[in-house]
Structure 1
């Protein structure tokens, strides 16, 4: 089972709030920002990169979040690249009211800012998805995230999920709707959900991946042992 968290969403939101607090009203004001104005939000190197982008031109900071130091550090450590290197904001998905507010150099309403944040984050995430079925959590952690998406084969199939339970339910149901086998690395977790939480207990067959040369079980012995332990826990009196 795959959960992908994108902490840059919260960081970007905090950065936008700070820019508003210090009095940034138009794109020309971005060149007047000092490193001290970004303390507590960005690390020193990230802040310097962002300021360099602002000095080079405000559009540079928008077109390349990686050069501005807003991409996830573990991406650069593991792959050497960032999804933001060639990222373009999906303006065609933004509400006309948002476009008009930006054109007039006015601060968009909270609802429009939320829409812009969600659409931008969704577009960033789509370029960094695994080929397997997964849940994408937009937030610092799965527990604190406020927006979720489910993807299959690097394609977002639902991007309007607002609770981890709803995301997990949609995620699990997708295995049956699209007839996908459980991946080997998540077989036990998914089979537990299937048999213990959802109540799907076929007498024959299994959705786990079958590997040649290995003994196949209708129900994995670890699941049976866990079910037995749960029954013992619910019934403490044993003879």
Structure 2
């Protein structure tokens, strides 16, 4: 038995299992795909067939290895291109791995990269269909996660996202919609997919997205809050703070962008100043629950 790696528990919690165990997983994939050359020139490859352990670390690496790139990419390709011959599927996976692609999200960087040529494996129309399916999936996941967070925190969708007709212009929105004073992401589409986004502040459109993706629009919305040093709207405070801390990695020890409003005291029934905390208690609870789930998986 050989020691693989050591990591302090506090570092594991801070950096996360993907970063800590990433190098090990990458080496295991390399051993499976490229193998080891013996002195006589023979190539020997090996795969992980089982992981046995009695601590949380073994659960962590088991969770990563259960969703290895080869399995994930094959499922996605089969869904996007049903009926693709097994020979082409295996060659496609081997080619992507050789380029250093390790997750589905990495595929978006393949298009246009130097030497990234799949023409001998797939015709151009199938390549385009495959890439479009990945982008569509990312869009739908991003929108649905945001809506799920709003529902979990029992907040109003309008505090984060306003939906409008895909043909609406900035002048149309300013003239026909009562745009709120705080920043909002306006999605032009049907609520699940959209062609364009805009950002509004003080009832006016200040940005029309050149990259028509939900994640680009969400990034622009957060940039607006930080560039202009604005508080989050009360209608979606928890959702925005959760996205900031969990997905953007912005975790200041002091200060918050939650509105400093007033609430009704449960003790006296009077209107009192809201207590300020570094992290919203509801957000902190969900973050802890997610961390516990990852450790107990």
TM-score using structure 1 length: 0.49
More relative contact order, 1 or 2 (CA 8 Å, 6+ apart): 1
